Structure 1
Amino acid sequence: MGSIYGILCCFIFRKVENLSFLPLLPWLVFTSFLRHSRMYGQAGGISAAVGALLILGRRHYGPPLDFAIARITEAVIGLICFITIEILVYPARSATLAKHKLSLSLGTLQDCIKDVVLFDNQNNQNNMQASIFPKLRQKQKKLKSHVNKLQMFIEEAELEPNFWFIPFYGSCYRKLLRSLSKMWDLSLFMSNKIEFLSVVLQRCEVDSEDLQKPMKCIKNDIELFKKKVETSLQCLQELSSKKSLAVHDKHDIELGTSPKANERRGLETEKEEVECILNSFLLHSNEVSDRVGTNTEGEDKKLKSQVIVCLAGLGFCISSLLREVREMEKEFQELVNLENPSSHIIA
Structure 2
Amino acid sequence: MAGISATRTLKVLQRLEDTAGVSVPLTITMATMMLRLGDQQQYTALMERHAEMLLVYGFIEEPRLLLYVGAGSKNDQVRPTALARQLANSQPGLLVAAMVALHENSKVQLEQADHTFKELDRENSLQVDFWEAMLMASSQDAVIQELLFRLASVYIDRLTNTNNDVASKHKSLKSAEDLINSCSHCGSLYPWLTVLNPAQTSSFQHQEALLKLQSLLCGPSLSVGTILPLMELLSEETLWGFSLHLLCATRRGQYDSSMEKLLDRCPQAIIAYANHHLQDKHMALWWQKLLPELCDRTRAAADSSVLLSALNETLVVIAMETSPAEFLELMPDDGTASYFLPHLLACSQRHLLT
- TM-score, normalised by the number of residues in structure 2: 0.25
Higher fraction of helix? 1
- TM-score, normalised by the number of residues in structure 1: 0.25
RCO greater where, 1 or 2, for CA within 8 Å and sep 6 or more?
A: 1
Larger Rg: 1
